[in-house]
């Protein structure tokens, strides 16, 4: 028998193992399927290419190349790198970024902000201008690309949405100031340190008289040419024209011999493979913070540009695909002797404006830059450094978006704080840490916003169709309606619960609560605990809680936690259209609506008779509190049952015998529970003047919360009864003190 059992049990085990292996294979296939789809993007582009787009793509490519080539050289100079590295990065980045990216018109290349960030990150650990500095720039591009590629394959493209727009504006503004200040030195031919913006500005003032005159003339002339051409026609290549004119001046008048610095002849050839120190762990560790900052800024900047273009073209973007494209582009730029870059706003805008249709337009632009490198490379020997500085200063000034800065500073304190922190950090701290500080503040702002969702009481509008936040409008004395605008997760539940319970304390007469949940998209276990506590709190006070329109995912968590089945009750989840109607006709007390509530909050009570409007009887809010005396529930209890306290209260005017306790609630409320010594005389009877008491009779009026008692007191005072007291807090306070109650004619004991 044992053999049979062993054989019998071994078969299912083998089958289970086989199925587990198949399941693992299937899961692995599913896991790598998105990565394979992202990597085969070039095949998708080329296989679907329409030849009718060839001509506009070629035209856009030529125009973009004319703009990008001089910019790439200039941005390499910002990073204190050889100018050919900028061209290599533009060529390789433009091709790879376009073929593996998501946006058809996006051109990936070195940019102002990334170049400055690369220089600032590397200059703190490596001597600028050294060969190690060059290798480190390529290694950083490789690290940045690898991080971006991982984020794209892991489908974490949504992370870029958590970085505030104010970080980009603050960093771009600070970067523009730094670039402009740092380029004054080569513009005028002055040697200045680049410690910080204040030191550079101070050195400039001290050494202004030592400016090299020929260099300064070339620099100022370049500024005049670029600014003038831009004012005449923004589509003309102003920078390229200025470079051609000043290069001719240098060549004709032999200005190199007179001390005018030039770029030098560029090497002719394809971008070479770089010998990167990929195993130097010390170097990798020292530049890792900068690599993280470049990764964040590069992705945020690229995504912003891509979405701006897509808004005009109608193209549907994939953020994960764009991450993959940027990752592969930066890795390629690092491997082929370039440095890190991102989507270029100016190049992309030119590409779009000149009719680029597909992703091959940036590829053509990169190809034309490569052709220019072969044919025009030797001519850069006459290209003055001052002309490049002038072009960078003009570009840096355009980076400062003053209108956007004003909007942010006047719109939101949190966004303004992020903007100013990033701006000041960029100017006075290590730039990579300034960027990371801005990103961190963005996350903090997001957490603060999500952990403090808007929670407020709402009331129907004048047409009873929509519920709005109207703090100036009177609400229902029985029902509070609270709307939650945010998710109920562990970080937000304390804020929501605190508001609801505080509302309950401020409005103790509102024993019922309706929570509008159509803006709650998710709820975790902490949210369930919060709702359970709210329900128990209201029920302990003799009320109840109802929910309206919870979303599907919220209903799922309700079901899995037994919140509805075990505590709330399925009948307490109401439909949006008839929620108020159900509560009004089945839950609320109509006597309170008639005798206590002077307003008509809901459509259901619009035609309800209001006895509060009886002529000569003031409304509750019009009864002067000092005209009415009150007695606490415990004092009334002792007065009714302790003869020793009767003499004590006689001093206060209650006399030597127990007072007459009058319950002014409706008979059905009286039968449900009342003070044993009380008589039931409804408020309607008192208001109708059908009741008479001796003028000197000591009377204590009782209702549910005190509203009806105050109105009854005002009516009795008009009838000549002046020795009147009101039970403070009504039966709600009596019950809270756990004092003796009677139902009908029977005493039910201490509660």
| Per-residue model confidence (pLDDT) at position 346 | 84
What pLDDT score was predicted for residue 747? 44
**Distance (Å, whole) CA 509 – CA 703:** 12
Where are the domain boundaries for CATH 3.40.250.10 in the chain? 620-749
The C-alpha atoms of residue 404 and residue 168 are separated, in whole angstroms, by: 11
pLDDT at 8: 38
735 CB neighbour count, 10 Å cutoff: 17
pTM over 0.85: no
The helix, strand and coil proportions of the chain, stated in percent and rounded to the nearest 5, come to 65, 10, 30
Spatial CA neighbour of 485 closest among 454, 518, 524: 454
- Cβ contacts of 357 within 8 Å, gap of 6 or more: 53, 56, 57, 104
* Contacts (Cβ under 8 Å, ≥6 apart) of 368: 61, 62, 65
pLDDT score of 644: 45
Q: Cα angle vertex 592, ends 588, 595, to 5°?
A: 155
The second-level CATH assignment, the architecture, of 454-605 is 2-Layer Sandwich (3.30)
How does 587-602 read in b/e, with b if 16+ C-beta sit within 10 Å?
A: ebbebbbbbbbebbbb
Q: Where in the chain is the domain with CATH 3.30.750.24?
A: 454-605
Would you give the distance in Å from CA 625 to the centre of its chain? Answer: 47
> What topology does CATH give the domain 620-749?
Oxidized Rhodanese; domain 1 (3.40.250)
Yes or no: say if 380 and 85 are a contact pair by the CB < 8 Å rule.
no
As averages over each run of 10 residues, the pLDDT of the chain (751 residues) reads 40 44 50 74 92 93 90 92 96 96 95 92 90 96 96 83 83 88 90 74 83 94 94 86 93 92 89 93 93 91 86 87 95 97 90 90 96 86 92 89 91 88 87 81 85 92 88 90 93 94 91 93 93 94 91 91 91 87 86 77 80 49 59 88 55 61 87 89 82 80 85 83 88 84 58 39
| pLDDT reported for residue 31 | 52
């Amino acid at each position: 028998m044992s053999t049979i059992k062993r054989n019998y049990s071994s078969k299912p085990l083998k089958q289970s193992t086989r199925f587990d292996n198949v399941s693992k294979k299937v899961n692995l296939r599913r896991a790598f399927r998105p990565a394979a789809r992202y990597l085969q993007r070039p095949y998708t582009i080329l296989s679907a290419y329409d030849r009718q787009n060839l001509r506009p793509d070629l035209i856009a490519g030529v125009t973009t190349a004319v703009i990008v080539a001089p910019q790439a050289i200039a941005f390499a100079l910002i990073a204190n790198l050889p100018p050919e590295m900028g061209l290599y990065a533009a060529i390789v980045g433009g091709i790879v970024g376009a073929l593996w990216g998501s946006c058809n018109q996006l051109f990936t290349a070195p940019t102002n902000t990334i170049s400055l960030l690369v220089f600032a990150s590397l200059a703190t650990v490596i001597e600028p201008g050294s060969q190690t500095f060059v290798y480190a720039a390529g290694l950083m591009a490789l690290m940045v690309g690898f991080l971006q590629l991982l984020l794209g394959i892991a489908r974490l493209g949504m992370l870029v949405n958590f970085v505030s727009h104010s970080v980009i504006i603050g960093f771009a503004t600070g970067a523009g100031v730094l670039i402009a200040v740092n380029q004054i030195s080569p513009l005028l031919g002055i040697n200045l340190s680049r410690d910080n913006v204040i030191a550079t500005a101070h050195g400039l003032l001290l050494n202004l008289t030592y400016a090299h005159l020929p260099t300064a003339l070339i620099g100022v002339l370049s500024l005049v040419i670029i600014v003038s051409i831009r004012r005449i026609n923004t589509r003309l290549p102003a920078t390229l024209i200025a470079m051609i004119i000043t290069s001719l001046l240098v060549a004709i008048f032999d200005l190199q011999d007179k001390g005018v610095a030039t770029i030098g002849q560029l090497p002719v050839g394809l971008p070479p493979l770089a010998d990167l120190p990929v195993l130097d762990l010390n170097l990798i560790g020292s530049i890792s913070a900068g690599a993280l900052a470049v990764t964040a800024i590069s992705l945020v900047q690229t995504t912003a540009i891509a979405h701006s273009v897509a808004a005009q073209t109608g193209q549907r973007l994939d953020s994960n695909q764009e991450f993959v494209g940027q990752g592969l582009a930066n890795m390629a730029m690092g491997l082929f002797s370039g440095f890190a870059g991102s989507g270029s706003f100016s190049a992309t805008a030119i590409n779009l404006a000149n009719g680029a249709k597909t992703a091959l337009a940036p590829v053509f632009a990169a190809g034309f830059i490569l052709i220019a490198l072969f044919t025009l490379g030797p001519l850069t020997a006459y290209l003055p450094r001052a002309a490049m500085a002038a072009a960078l200063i003009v570009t840096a000034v355009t980076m400062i978006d003053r209108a956007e800065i004003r909007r942010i500073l006047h719109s939101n304190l949190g966004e303004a704080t992020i903007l100013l922190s990033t701006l000041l950090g960029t100017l006075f701290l290590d730039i990579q840490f300034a960027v990371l500080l801005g990103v961190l503040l963005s996350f903090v702002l997001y957490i603060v916003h999500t952990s403090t969702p808007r929670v407020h009481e709402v009331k129907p509008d004048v047409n009873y169709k929509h519920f709005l936040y109207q703090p100036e409008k009177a609400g229902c004395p029985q029902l509070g309606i609270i709307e939650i605008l945010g998710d109920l997760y562990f970080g937000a539940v304390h804020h929501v619960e605190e508001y609801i319970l505080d509302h309950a304390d401020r409005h103790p007469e509102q024993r019922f609560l309706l929570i509008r949940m159509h803006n709650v998209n998710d709820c975790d276990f902490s949210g369930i605990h919060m709702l359970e506590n709210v329900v128990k709190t209201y029920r302990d006070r003799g009320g109840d809680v109802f929910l309206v329109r919870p979303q599907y995912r919220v209903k799922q968590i309700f079901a899995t936690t037994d919140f509805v089945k075990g505590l709330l009750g399925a009948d307490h989840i109401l439909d949006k259209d008839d929620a108020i109607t159900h509560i009004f006709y089945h839950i609320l007390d109509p006597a309170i609506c008639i005798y206590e509530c002077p307003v008509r909050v809901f459509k259901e009570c619009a035609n309800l008779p209001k006895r509060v409007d009886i002529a000569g009887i003031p409304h509750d809010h019009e009864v002067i509190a000092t005209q009415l005396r009150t007695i606490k529930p415990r004092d009334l209890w002792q007065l009714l049952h302790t003869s020793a306290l009767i003499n004590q209260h006689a001093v206060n005017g209650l006399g030597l015998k127990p007072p007459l306790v009058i319950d002014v609630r409706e008979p059905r409320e009286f039968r449900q529970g009342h003070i044993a010594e009380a008589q039931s005389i409804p408020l309607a009877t008192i208001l109708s003047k059908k009741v008479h008491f001796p003028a000197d009779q000591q009377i204590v009026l009782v209702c549910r919360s005190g509203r009806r008692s105050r109105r009854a007191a005002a009516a009795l005072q008009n009838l000549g009864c002046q020795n009147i007291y009101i039970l403070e807090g009504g039966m709600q306070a009596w019950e809270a003190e756990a004092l003796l109650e009677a139902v009908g004619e029977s005493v039910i004991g201490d509660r």
